[in-house]
């Protein structure tokens, strides 16, 4: 009798580097080659290769597209091995719960974690050796990251105290001479800088100056061409008069102009600012709700100019940290909004669907799932509060810029508000005893919802979408190649919520690809 050949395991390969500089140094390619060699020594069928380039390992699972995709594959039990160059590629999070969440994904998938050396960590190992090993590796990885941040901050601080360049690029028109240990002018750039000041004093706007520099072939500070925002930045920074600020310290550097000339330039710049008011925000029901079905990135509202019909689509490659979408599909805003309105209205006015939601909510409450929802919501609230506190600490230490911190804090507070809402609903649901729902009550609810929704304004519709589509897995609205896919919940009564009730793809015509 012949021996039966074993089936090669299904594997997901994960590659991650923290910074764009590492990606430029071909660090991801080193990881790819190591995993390719592992595949030769340990054959497998690669289901998917997840790459996160320029993504910090300190981020939580909800903030990383690669881990969100891994969670979806784990829920489908689509892989048997999770292969990485090293376990620290999975996470360097300080929060133990974030590190444990990835271990849980492997456990839910029934998979093992394999590094490039062939070492295997098995979450199902009852001895617990693999779990201890994973904890120690990720713990030391997170501590090493903290030490790196501390050393980096200390090094930048010492450089700033010594009057040297502490981080990033030097102010335009100046450079630090390491041999002479002093700042000096870069003649060519200083001349360009002086020309910009003279042009704004002559009455030209920042856009006109940018066009003039581009027409004359003047090399830009960065990128392919001069832009009005670059001109505005150069005229607004204190470095123009010789004050270079870094790490909370001010260093004297060669000035481009004196204080009086700078004041005149800023006054001239303010005189050129248009007073027409802010640009009107385009109405878009699905702004911040619709996601790309290919890359799971939130869709932007895109317009080709005044009078053009706006479209939903993936952000431009230059605005993404994780690389451009391989399938940047788009759809017109009016078409998408109308299709989603019609689909949701059809659900909310169908008594049979509402009755199913109510009964499912009663069953879920009876099974004690609301308690689990309350615990999960409280855990999310505490985690998000911790993330906010850590971000504020990093801002105080000068490790992140104010713009980045402000944007990230807004995102964290929005997520925390959503978690607070979930917690309040779950607590209310536990307080209310579920009761049987009469068919007449459901039919009356359908009629009432139909009348209210048909008359609803855009703001009311956006509130409704926030209730039906919470900002957490598995809920969402995705633009697929053949239409939309919706995963929503129906919180019809205080103690009743049907999970995954409306996970229903529907078509609104084939979206045009641009």
Q: What is the mean pLDDT of residues 437-461?
A: 70
pLDDT score of 368: 54
With bands split at pLDDT 50, 70 and 90, how would you rate the model's confidence at 49? Answer: very high
Query: Do 59 and 146 fall into the same domain?
Result: yes
| Top-confidence residue, 274 or 260 | 260
Instruction: Measure Cα distances from 231 to 163, 194, 198, 266, 327 in Å.
Output: 26, 12, 12, 12, 35
Query: Do 144 and 204 fall into the same domain?
Result: no
pLDDT score of 281: 63
Top mean-pLDDT range of 7-11, 227-231, 369-373: 7-11
**What CA–CA distance (Å, rounded) separates 489 from 502?**
7
% of residues, the chain, pLDDT over 90: 18
Question: Does the pLDDT of residue 510 top 70, yes or no?
Answer: no
419, two tokens: 């978690």
Query: Do 365 and 485 fall into the same domain?
Result: yes
Burial code (b: 16+ CB inside 10 Å, e: under 16) for 5-29 equals eeeebbbbbbbbbbeeeebeeebbe
Question: Does the pLDDT of residue 69 top 60, yes or no?
Answer: yes
438, two tokens: 């009469």
Domain encompassing residue 189? 174-271
Which residues lie below 8 Å from residue 167, measured CB to CB, with a gap of 6+?
156, 159, 246, 247
> 153-157, 292-296, 327-331: which has the minimum mean pLDDT?
327-331
Q: What is the CA radius of gyration of the chain?
A: 28
Q: How far is Cα of residue 340 from the mean position of the Cα atoms in its chain?
A: 24
| Top-confidence residue, 378 or 31 | 31
**What CA–CA distance (Å, rounded) separates 209 from 203?**
10
| Domain tally, the chain | 3
pLDDT score of 358: 63
Question: Does the pLDDT of residue 514 top 60, yes or no?
Answer: no
| Top-confidence residue, 163 or 369 | 163
Which residues lie below 8 Å from residue 120, measured CB to CB, with a gap of 6+?
112, 113, 114, 130
Question: Does the pLDDT of residue 26 top 90, yes or no?
Answer: no
CATH code assigned at 76: 3.40.50.1390
Determine, yes or no, domain membership for 46: yes
Determine, yes or no, domain membership for 514: no
pLDDT score of 364: 55
Bridge partners of 313, per DSSP, are: 300, 330
Question: Does the pLDDT of residue 79 top 90, yes or no?
Answer: yes
pLDDT score of 3: 45
Query: Do 454 and 392 fall into the same domain?
Result: yes
Question: Does the pLDDT of residue 45 top 90, yes or no?
Answer: yes
Beta strands in 226-333 (DSSP E): 243-246, 249-252, 290-292, 300-302, 311-313, 330-332
Where a domain ends, among 118, 150, 182? Answer: 150
Query: Do 472 and 363 fall into the same domain?
Result: yes
58, two tokens: 């300190």
Determine, yes or no, domain membership for 305: no
Q: Which helix (H) or strand (E) holds 81?
A: strand 81-84
Residue with tokens 């015509």: 509
The helix-helix angle for 206-215 and 187-201 (nearest 10°) equals 140
Query: Do 72 and 192 fall into the same domain?
Result: no
Burial code (b: 16+ CB inside 10 Å, e: under 16) for 270-284 equals eeeeeeeeeeeeeeb
Determine, yes or no, domain membership for 247: yes
Query: Do 486 and 418 fall into the same domain?
Result: yes
Determine, yes or no, domain membership for 407: yes
Question: Does the pLDDT of residue 501 top 60, yes or no?
Answer: no
Query: Do 343 and 472 fall into the same domain?
Result: yes
Determine, yes or no, domain membership for 297: no
Alpha helices in 245-332 (DSSP H): 259-271
Determine, yes or no, domain membership for 460: yes
**What CA–CA distance (Å, rounded) separates 90 from 213?**
46
pLDDT score of 77: 93
Q: What is the pTM of this model?
A: 0.43
With bands split at pLDDT 50, 70 and 90, how would you rate the model's confidence at 55? Answer: confident
| DSSP label of 298 | B
Query: Do 393 and 255 fall into the same domain?
Result: no
Question: Does the pLDDT of residue 275 top 70, yes or no?
Answer: no
| Top-confidence residue, 40 or 23 | 40
**What CA–CA distance (Å, rounded) separates 417 from 412?**
9
pLDDT score of 1: 40
Query: Do 377 and 475 fall into the same domain?
Result: yes
361, two tokens: 């909510």
């Amino acid at each position: 009798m012949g021996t039966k050949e074993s089936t090669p395991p299904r594997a997901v390969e994960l590659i991650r580097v923290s910074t764009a500089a590492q990606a430029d140094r071909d660090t991801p390619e080193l990881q790819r080659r190591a995993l390719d060699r592992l595949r030769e020594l340990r054959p497998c069928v690669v289901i998917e290769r997840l790459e996160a380039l320029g993504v910090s390992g300190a981020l939580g699972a909800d903030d990383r597209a690669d881990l969100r995709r891994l969670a979806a594959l784990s829920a489908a039990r689509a892989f048997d091995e999770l292969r990485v160059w090293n376990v620290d590629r999975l996470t360097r999070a300080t929060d133990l719960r974030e590190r444990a969440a990835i271990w849980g994904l492997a456990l839910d998938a029934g998979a093992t974690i394999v590094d490039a050396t062939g070492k295997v960590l098995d979450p199902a190992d009852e001895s617990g050796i693999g779990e201890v090993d994973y904890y120690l590796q990720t713990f030391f990885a997170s501590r090493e990251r903290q030490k790196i941040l501390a050393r980096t901050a200390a090094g930048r601080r010492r450089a700033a105290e010594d009057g040297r360049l502490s981080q990033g690029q030097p102010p335009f028109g100046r450079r630090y001479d390491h041999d002479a240990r002093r700042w000096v002018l870069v003649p060519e750039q200083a001349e360009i800088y002086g020309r910009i000041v003279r042009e704004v004093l002559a009455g030209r706007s920042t856009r006109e100056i940018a066009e003039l520099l581009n027409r004359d072939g003047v090399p830009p500070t960065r990128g392919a061409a001069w832009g009005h925002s670059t001109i505005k930045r150069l005229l607004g920074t204190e470095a123009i008069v010789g004050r270079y600020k870094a790490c909370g310290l001010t260093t004297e550097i060669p000035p481009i102009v004196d204080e009086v000339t700078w004041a005149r330039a800023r006054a001239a710049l303010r005189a050129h600012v248009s007073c027409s008011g802010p640009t009107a925000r385009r109405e878009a029901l699905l702004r911040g709700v619709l996601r790309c079905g290919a890359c799971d990135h939130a869709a932007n509202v895109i317009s080709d100019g005044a009078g053009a019909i706006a479209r939903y689509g993936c952000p431009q490659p230059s605005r993404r940290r994780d690389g451009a979408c391989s399938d940047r599909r788009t759809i017109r805003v009016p078409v998408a909004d109308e299709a989603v309105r019609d689909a949701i209205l059809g659900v909310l006015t169908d008594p049979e669907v509402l009755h199913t939601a109510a009964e499912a909510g009663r069953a879920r409450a009876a099974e004690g799932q609301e308690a689990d929802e309350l615990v999960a919501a409280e855990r999310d609230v505490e985690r998000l509060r911790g993330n906010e506190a850590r971000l504020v600490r990093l801002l105080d230490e000068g490790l992140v810029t104010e713009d980045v911190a402000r944007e990230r804090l807004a995102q964290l507070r929005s997520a925390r508000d959503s978690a607070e809402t979930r917690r309040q609903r779950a607590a209310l649901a536990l307080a209310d005893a579920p009761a049987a729902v009469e068919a007449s009550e459901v039919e009356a609810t359908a009629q009432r919802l139909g009348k209210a929704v048909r008359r609803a304004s855009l703001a009311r519709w956006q509130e409704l979408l926030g209730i039906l589509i919470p900002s957490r897995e598995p809920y969402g609205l995705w633009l697929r190649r053949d239409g939309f896919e919706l995963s929503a919940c129906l919180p019809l009564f205080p103690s009743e919520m049907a999970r995954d009730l409306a996970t229903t793809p529907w078509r609104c015509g084939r979206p045009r690809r641009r």
